[in-house]
Amino acid sequence: MKIGIVCYPTFGGSGVVATELGLQLSKSKYEVHFITYKQPVRLEIINSSLFFHEVNVPDYPLFHYQPYELALSSKLVDTVKKYNIELLHVHYAIPHAYAAYMTKQILQSENVNIPIVTTLHGTDITLVGKHPFYKPAVKFSINNSDFVTSVSEDLKNETKKLFNIHKEIKVIPNFVDISKYLDYKQDFDREFIAGRDEKIISHVSNFRKVKRTLDVIDIFNNIQKQVKSKLIMVGDGPDRLKCMKRCKELGIIEKVKFLGNSNQVYDILSYSDLFLLPSEIESFGLSALEAMMLKVPIISTNVGGLPEVNMEGVSGFLFDLGDIQKMSLKSIEILKDDILLKKMKEGAYNTAKKYDIKKIIPQYEEVYKLFSK
């Protein structure tokens, strides 16, 4: 089957899920075409069953905003026709589900039928999508997709509630490739990050307000007073400078490494003892799942889909949003108790196994089968 995948090509979780899905599909009976404005970060191999088509948006001085949806729809129409693509799977509703709907309409006028599968990832619903400026268009494009999936039960319920959607939404969670870890080799030395007697705490995100990265710094500040440790902050985004400033004010800048966007997330996680995710909104928490796969327990909030991923007392612990005190105390307890830490590491890994790629990809394939000719 020939599938077109539309996603954000950046370091965000929806792009990672879409790319890993496409890569995996292309290893079996699928021909996969990525259609987006840049080659997705994790898409390193292009071969006879894996293609990348770049969407170009010419800069025209008359436009204050360049019309990306228009360029994307046009590119989708051309690519579907040129490669006989049989289904479009769009990740993140804004603006992809909307552009896909237009593509379907244009192709219909030429007697070509293209089914649209939309996967909802999170803020396309819970933050941006529900904003009155976008809501009618998002609701319309969800209702007019041929099939809709969401990455957690919580996101499914939120979507139904916020947009009054009566259509079926199938939950297909995020996934990790457990086999990647089995023979995993780190590319750099642990000494680069911390001394032998120091614990390593990590956080990975796009440093947006919803990630509450300043809470990460405050929690670590409490931890480092009682446990010799280093904090690794991976990723980049609007709150990164604020975090650096807070570290300087607290006098802990020497203990915190800001690595920016990195393709070595797994290396960093594989050395970590604890992962902090105190988010305000989190539909699933792919970064937490990746940490769990690498045997790192999670201290997170109990918002959104996080309780579906982080199992209380097994893979980690969950707290109310903003409860820095309790998150700090539990972190210190785990890091000080080697037996508890070992138990939590195993618990994190065993929980991650439920989300192995081999269990999740067939769920997407079931959806595609509904539309295969």
Instruction: Answer yes or no: are the C-beta atoms of 94 and 119 closer than 8 Å.
Output: no
State the DSSP string of 151-178.
Answer: SSHHHHHHHHHHHT--S-EEE----B-H
Question: Is the CB of 118 or the CB of 221 nearer to ligand GMT?
Answer: 118
Footprint of ligand GMT on this chain (CB under 6 A)? 8, 12-15, 17, 121-123, 151, 174, 210, 281-286
Dist CA 41 CA 355 (whole Å): 22
Min separation Cβ 119 and ligand GMT, Å = 8
Question: Is the CB of 127 or the CB of 329 nearer to ligand GMT?
Answer: 127
Q: Say if residue 95 is preceded by a cis peptide, omega within 30 of 0.
A: yes
| Token reading at 116 | 């649209």
Min separation Cβ 150 and ligand GMT, Å = 9
User: Hunting for tokens 């393709």 — which residue is that?
Assistant: 263
End-to-end, the C-alpha distance of the chain in Å comes to: 9
Question: Is the CB of 85 or the CB of 234 nearer to ligand GMT?
Answer: 234
Question: Is the CB of 221 or the CB of 283 nearer to ligand GMT?
Answer: 283
Question: Is the CB of 67 or the CB of 237 nearer to ligand GMT?
Answer: 237
For residue 91, the cross-strand partners are: 119
- Residue 58: how many CB atoms within 10 A of its CB? 8
Question: Is the CB of 123 or the CB of 221 nearer to ligand GMT?
Answer: 123
User: What letter represents residue 168's amino acid?
Assistant: E
Min separation Cβ 212 and ligand GMT, Å = 11
Min separation Cβ 174 and ligand GMT, Å = 5
Min separation Cβ 272 and ligand GMT, Å = 18
Dist CA 373 CA 369 (whole Å): 9
| Token reading at 100 | 């896909």
User: What letter represents residue 305's amino acid?
Assistant: G
Min separation Cβ 265 and ligand GMT, Å = 13
Q: Is 333 helix (H, G, I), strand (E, B) or coil?
A: helix
Dist CA 36 CA 22 (whole Å): 13
Min separation Cβ 95 and ligand GMT, Å = 14
Question: Is the CB of 13 or the CB of 347 nearer to ligand GMT?
Answer: 13
Q: Which residues contact 89 (CB under 8 A, 6 or more apart)?
A: 3, 4, 5, 6, 18, 21, 117, 119, 364, 368
Question: Is the CB of 204 or the CB of 223 nearer to ligand GMT?
Answer: 204
Min separation Cβ 76 and ligand GMT, Å = 20
Closest residue to bound ligand GMT by CB: 122
Dist CA 20 CA 24 (whole Å): 6
